[in-house]
Amino acid sequence: MGTDIIEGCVIMEKSNGKALTVKKGEPTLVSPAEETATGLYFLSNLDQNIAVIVRTIYCFKSDEKGNENAADVIKDALRKVLVHYYPLAGRLTISSEGKLIVDCTGEGAVVVEAEADCKMEEIGDITKPDPETLGKLVYDIPGAKNILEMPPVVAQVTKFQCGGFVLGLCMNHCMFDGIGAMEFVNSWGETARGLPLTIPPFSDRTILKARSPPKIEYQHQEFAEIEDKSSTGDLYKDEMLYRSFCFEPDKLEKLKKTAMEDGVLEKCTTFEALSAFVWRARTKALKMLSDQQTKLLFAVDGRPKFNPPLPKGYFGNGIVLTNSICQAGELLDKPLSYAVSLIQEAIKIVTDGYMRSAIDYFEVTRARPSLSSTLVVTTWSRLSFHTTDFGWGEPVLSGPVALPEKEVILFLSHGRERKSINVLLGLPASAMNVFQEQMQI
C-alpha cells in the first residue's frame, strides 16, 4: 500500500474501491466530571458571525497499542477537560438581544462509538474533502434543523480493523476559531495522557463586548453585497468538482518572486502571494466580466493586534474578517503585485481600532458578511492539528471532512516538514478545467 503522509490528507492506493461501511452505536452524553458554572455564557460579536459547523477528522494508529479502549480513553478525558471548557457542555440559545448565547446546562458533549468494515488505509484518497466517504466518520444529529439543535461538540470514535481509529469532530465555529479549537483538542489529548493543560482556557469573552455607544469608524466592505453581473451563480448549478493542488517550497518561492519582479512591492509573504494567485485563477475560471466587482475575504488573527493583546488561551474567536475588493478586469490585467498589494493593505488595516469598529458594526447592523462574487480563503497551514496526541502518538493524518461553503478555499500545510501548502477547493466542472490550467506555474 503506497502511502504519502501529509497533514490534512493521506494519499493511498485504494485497494478495492468499495464504499466505506460504518456501523454506529447509540449516541451518549458525556458531561463534565465535576460541578461547573451554570447560567448564560456571553458570546462576542466576533463569535456571532461564523456560527457554522466545522467537521474534522484525526486518524490515529500505533504499533504499540490497539484501539480496544480508544473510545473509553477519549470519553474519560473529555469528562475531565469539559471542567475547564464548561461552556462546551452547554447548549446554544438566543439571548434577549436576539444573539447567540450559551446556556451552561452541563448536559455534555455527544459521543458516538462506531466500527468500520475495513482497514484505515482503505479509506482511499482523502487529499480533497470528500463529504461522501469522510462524512461517515463524523456524527450529525439526526433531524437537527439548525445549529440551536446541535450540541457545540459532537464526537465520533470509529475503530478500524487494522487497530487504528478515527476521531471525527463536529464543532460549532461560534465556540472557537482555529487556534481556540486546536488548543481545546490538544488539551483534551493532554488530559488523556494524564498531563496538566499547557494552555488553560481564558473564558471571559466580555473583554470583546461592543462599546457603548458603538463607534463605527471604518467602511467594513466585508459586509458589502456585490451584484452578480457575470451570473456566476448559474455556473454553480453545474456538477461540483473537488480538487487539491500542492505548492512545494520552490513553487511558493517562484510565486513570491513573480509578485516582486516589477519592483512595486518591498516584501511579500507566502500567504499573500498564494492568496493573490488563487484569487486571480478563480476569477478567470468563473469567467467574470471585466467590470464585475470581486471580493477576497480572509481572517486575520486579532489576538496580538488588540490593545492590550488577548490573553493567552483566549477561548473564543479572536479572528477578524478583512477584505480586498476590485474589478475582475483590473485583477486579471494588472500584474500579480497588484493583487498582493490589495491583500497587504487589507492586512495592514486590521488594528485594534478596526477590530473594535467591526464588533460595533455588528452590534448596530447585525449584518453577516456577504459571499456574492466573493472568494473566502481559510488558512489552516499555521495550525498545529498534527500535534494532537491521546496516547497513540500524533495523528497519521488530520483534516477537514468538507469545505463549509462553495466560496471557500482552504490552505493546509503538507509534507514531512510542513513546508508545502495544499490548496483545496470545489468549483463547477466547467470552471475547474480552467482553474487547473492556471495552476501550471
Annotated catalytic residue, options 47, 84, 173, 386: 173
Q: Give yes or no: 389 in active site.
A: yes
Phi (first) and psi of residue 392, to 5 degrees: -110, 20
Contact 67/115 with Cβ under 8 angstroms? no
Contact 137/108 with Cβ under 8 angstroms? no
Q: Give yes or no: 173 in active site.
A: yes
Contact 338/310 with Cβ under 8 angstroms? no
Give the span between the Cα atoms of 35 and 218, in whole angstroms.
Answer: 44
- Map 399-427 to HEC letters: EECCCCCCCEEEEEEECCCCCEEEEEEEE
Annotated catalytic residue, options 76, 103, 228, 389: 389
Which of these, 193, 197, 169, lies nearest to 183 by C-alpha position?
Answer: 197
Can you read off the three cell numbers belonging to residue 208? 470583546
Contact 174/85 with Cβ under 8 angstroms? no
Can you read off the three cell numbers belonging to residue 118? 475495513
Give the span between the Cα atoms of 225 and 234, in whole angstroms.
Answer: 17
- The β-bridge partners of 327 are 293
Residue 144: count of CB within 10 angstroms of its CB: 13
The amino acid sitting at 155 is A
Residues serving a catalytic function are 173, 389
